[in-house]
Amino acid sequence: MSEQNAAAASRNRRGDSGEYWQALSERRLIIPQCLSCGETYFYPRPFCPFCMSDDIAWVSASGKGTVYSFTTSARAPQFKVPAMVTLDEGPTLMTAIEGIDPASVFIGQKVEVVFAELADGTVVPVFAPVAASVADGKSVD
């Protein structure tokens, strides 16, 4: 195992988010769900932020969401459109928009998860517009 892969593997074993990073390495997006109140949330925590129950489980996210906010960073070496995306399941996560001209991104745009690999091998969730959303530059509600 290379030093970079060892760093990524180490990151994947981190405490409360270990399963999250493991799923990402398999290009699956999962989020925690409270088994007491049913809410999904993000970031990973060992208890529900809505009702404080520690009866939680990981569930698969649809991977579909909506751009809540974004900015552009032309000089960034990777991820030139940092963004907040609200998943259809409810939670909002810090991510980036890829696969589109930064000038074409808009708040309310429908996006879906794709995965990007960092230099150390860690897989992270980023989002790309759904095809219909790109075609007309408008939301497809």
Interface with Zn ion by CB under 5 A: which residues?
A: 34, 36-37, 48, 50-51, 53
CB of residue 49 to Zn ion, shortest distance in Å? 8
CB of residue 89 to Zn ion, shortest distance in Å? 14
Q: How far apart are the first and last CA of the chain?
A: 46
Q: What is the DSSP letter of 97?
A: B
Closer residue to Zn ion (CB): 16 or 135: 16
Task: Render the burial of 73-86: b for 16+ CB within 10 Å, e for the rest.
Answer: eeeeeebebbbbbe
CB of residue 52 to Zn ion, shortest distance in Å? 7
CB of residue 34 to Zn ion, shortest distance in Å? 3
Distance separating alpha carbons of residues 118 and 47, to the nearest angstrom: 29
- The residues near 115 (Cβ < 8 Å, ≥ 6 apart) are 24, 27, 123, 124, 125, 126
Closer residue to Zn ion (CB): 37 or 140: 37
Closer residue to Zn ion (CB): 51 or 132: 51
CB of residue 75 to Zn ion, shortest distance in Å? 41
Pair type for strands 82-87 and 56-60: unpaired
Closer residue to Zn ion (CB): 59 or 140: 59
Distance separating alpha carbons of residues 12 and 21, to the nearest angstrom: 5
